[in-house]
Structure 1
Amino acid sequence: MTASYAENSVDSKCSLSRLAPLEAILFDIDGTLCDSDPLHYYAFREMLQEIGFNGGVPITEEFFIENIGGKHNDDIAAILFPDDLQRGLKFTDDKEAMFRRLATEQLKPINGLYKLRKWIEDHGLKRAAVSNAPRPNAELMVSILGLSDFFHSLIVGSECDHAKPHPDPYLKALEVLNVSKDHTLVFEDSVSGITAGVAAEIPVVGLTTRNPEHLLMEAGPVFLIKDYDDPKLWAALEELDRN
């Protein structure tokens, strides 16, 4: 296999030292704290097929990544139901109910998450979850992962003037935590999320949980990691500690 975009970028600029002293870390939820996209994809595929979307042909994973993954439900509804937005919004509400049922039984953390949690707590950093998911989904996922007491705040895109890919949710997180963008780090897994973090002028580390690396790199992260066990991440954090 050829060297990945992540490896190439790490060789040249895998450094977080300019963030010293680090004050806060912000996390997306879906695909960043947990590998939830397969559950979202399953719910969308099954429910869209039931109503005869695309002539009854199931949507592909590529369609999901391009049109749904990381986006806010208002935007998804407009994409899937351009001629009937209200129907689209009702559909996405019903889909989220199905997702919550699936998540309760099947949600798993990203590898290394609890190792990173301990590092963050040991360093006394502020932390917030920043998600485009509806609040009931976001709160459920954080609870299932045992992180309800970990996060100081939960910022939801629909409660901001604009959801991701706009910077508003991340700017709100900075305000709520009372921290500087120059001393804050974001973890994200989608093009929409990375775009939002970059637009807020906060360095973003991208996770290659499900989305293609070349698309993530085009959004402008500092570098990419596979998960929170990735040696590239810990090398960068150790370097940050030395500054």
Structure 2
Amino acid sequence: MSSLTGLAPLEAVLFDVDGTLCDSDPLHYDALREMLLKIGFNGGVPITEEFFIENFSGKNNVDTALVAFPGDLEKGLKLLEDKEVTFRRLAEEKLKPVKGLDKLTSWVENHGLKRAAVTNSSRVNAELMISKLGLSDFFDVLIIGDECERGKPYPDPYLKALEVLKASKDHAFVFEDSFSGITAGVAAEMPVIGIATRNPEDLLMKAKPAFLIKDYEDPKLWAALEELDKPGADKLEFLDKNI
């Protein structure tokens, strides 16, 4: 599925934060690698980016903590607290938006759509990243996975965002960059546009996104958005549902 016409009239767009609004994974990787070296994880051998992507990227804090300290959640969570301090220092200096983000946010604003940021990051991290990107006034709501009954890959954070926005899953879609995030959006019964900023495309496709894009300047994205803008897109949706 590369068409979004079935969503017309579009009501809302939901965004992950890490790796979706900004290319933050390299900063998380650097911060975590530094912390893991201090505790002698992996026999003192630095983790690779591939190991980081497979075991840490997009996961909630509990799952991440248990990778670092299997069987000792308390120690794992303390490690993550220290890691997040390092990450925020790096983010203050180096955080950059995904290419074309300004163009997309302008499109969303110009169409008067509702919008939410939905993330497994901590609230302090998410607010920092959103602020650094100049998007504090852009989002109607920020949903944090750890503040829901279940975080991603479960659909709860996206379902909560729809509830707060008073938007229908039938007229909304999601941007995500991780396997767990795409899985969550799909489980919430929305089309998910996957962004291959860092995670391998073959891994992302296993989560069944509607389609993948490289960044927000990808022609595939704008072709899909232009279809939504065509007169009669909502009539096409009605026909599709009644054929």
Instruction: Read off the aligned partner of 1:240 and give its amino acid letter.
Output: L
Q: Which sits farther off after the overlay, 154-163 or 75-84?
A: 75-84
Measure the CA separation in 2 of the matches of 1:221 and 1:182. 16
Taking structure 2 as the reference length, the TM-score comes to 0.94
Per the TM alignment, residue 188 of structure 1 is displaced from its structure 2 partner at its CA by 0.1
Letter in 2 for 1:105: E
Partner of 2:54: 66
In structure 2, the residue matched to 1:231 is 219
CA RMSD, 1 decimal: 0.6
Q: Where in structure 2 are the equivalents of 1:179-194 lying within 5 Å?
A: 179-194=167-182
- Post-superposition shift, 1:158? 0.5
Q: TM-score, normalised by structure 1?
A: 0.94
Q: Does 1:203 align with 2:194?
A: no
Q: Aligned partners of 1:79 and 1:207: how far apart in 2?
A: 25
Work out which of the residue numbers 17, 33, 41 in structure 1 matches 2:21: 33
Which ranges of 4 or more aligned residues in structure 1 deviate by more than 6 Å? none
Match of residue 108 from structure 1: 96
Q: Secondary structure at the match of 2:98?
A: coil
- Whichever residue aligns with residue 176 of structure 1, its letter is V
Aligned length: 231
In the other structure, the counterpart of 1:3 is none
In the aligned structure 2, how far is the partner of 1:121 from the partner of 1:31? 21
Which of 90, 94, 97 is matched with 2:78 structurally?
Answer: 90
Q: Distance in 1 between matches of 2:39 and 2:176?
A: 32
Gaps of 5+ in 1: 1-12
Superposition deviation, residue 83 in structure 1: 2.6
Amino acid at match of 2:57: G
Counterpart of 2:241? none
Identity, in percent, stands at 72
1:10 is matched with none
Work out the CA distance in 1 between the residues paired with 2:36 and 2:82.
11
1 CA distance for matches of 2:67 and 2:47? 13
For the residue of structure 2 that corresponds to 1:128, the secondary structure is strand
Contact 2:36–2:68 (8 Å) recurs in 1: no
Alignment of 1:1-243 (within 5 A): 13-242=1-230, 243=233
